[in-house]
Amino acid sequence: MPTAASITVKKNDGTTDIVWTLLSASGGDKSPASWRSDTAVGTNGQKPVFSIVSRSNGAGDTRRLDYSAKMPSVYTNSATGQTEVRANMTFSGSFAVPQNVVAADVNEFAAQIANLIASSLSKSSIAAGFAPT
């Protein structure tokens, strides 16, 4: 079982590191591990958040991991001087990992799917709001 820690990722410029600060480690099944991007603008309630929740299926032969993220578009209201949220960009995804699969296959699945999501084509599709044509 992985140990909860803050996560460092690259910004869109490919150079700048952003630290997602660990807010809380999971307390076990159905209890999320949560992170926040504390370097983002706005109040704590206006900053990007990320979470992972895990659990077994009913039969206990598959582990499910649910990922979610919310990244607000924050701006400063010129009339009030207060930061406000224009809109929220969200993500949710779920992985089902059967427990009767060999570790090498699970490791390959984890690496390839995470890398597919992180690929430049996937990133450009998200930015454009359209699947590749």
What is the pLDDT at residue 102? 97
Which 8-state DSSP code applies to residue 34?
A: E
Partnered with residue 65 across adjacent β-strands are: 54, 95
What is the pLDDT at residue 106? 97
What residue has token string 């990722």? 9
Closest CA to 3 of 29, 30, 22: 22
Instruction: Give whole-number Cα distances, 29 to 26, 53, 85, 111, in Å.
Output: 8, 7, 32, 23
Q: Which residues of the chain have pLDDT under 70?
A: none
* pLDDT, tens digit, 9 for 90 and up, residues 8-29: 999 999 999 999 999 999 999 9
Closest CA to 93 of 73, 75, 110: 110
Query: What Rg do the C-alpha atoms of the chain give, in angstroms?
Result: 17
What is the pLDDT at residue 1? 80
pTM of the model: 0.90
